[in-house]
Amino acid sequence: MSSEETLALVTRLQRHPQLQAQVAALLDEVENRAGALNTGDAAEDAIVERMRQFGRQALTQWAEQRHAAVQPERTPGLRHVGKKNSAGRPPSAPLG
């Protein structure tokens, strides 16, 4: 990775602090900073769980950004104008 690519990656991660925290936590697991990963099974379990958390966080952020992109801005005090959602006359109402 070039220094420009590294800088671009750091800049992008700074725009997503939750993902940045997940990347840092994953690196902690890989480097065994807590000292608790003494077997391959323990390391596998910890890293797989961390990747699951990372995936959930990434999908959540993607969904929030997508929702914000397609959701129109609402002005306070204005009501949505459109077709009424009426199913018709209630069954107990008189015919006529």
Counting the structural domains of the chain, the total is 1
| pLDDT confidence of residue 45 | 94
Question: Does a structural domain hold residue 63?
Answer: yes
| pLDDT confidence of residue 94 | 67
Distance between CA atoms of residues 72 and 65, nearest Å: 13
Question: Does a structural domain hold residue 83?
Answer: no
| pLDDT confidence of residue 86 | 67
Question: Does a structural domain hold residue 93?
Answer: no
Cα-based angle 13, 62, 81 (whole degrees, multiple of 5):
135
Question: Does a structural domain hold residue 92?
Answer: no
Question: Does a structural domain hold residue 28?
Answer: yes
**Domain that includes residue 32, residue range:** 18-70
pLDDT along the chain (96 residues), means of 10: 94 92 92 91 94 94 88 69 68 66
Question: Does a structural domain hold residue 12?
Answer: no
Secondary structure E strands in 30-86: none
CA distances from 38 to 24, 28, 35, 52 (A): 20, 14, 7, 21
Question: Does a structural domain hold residue 2?
Answer: no
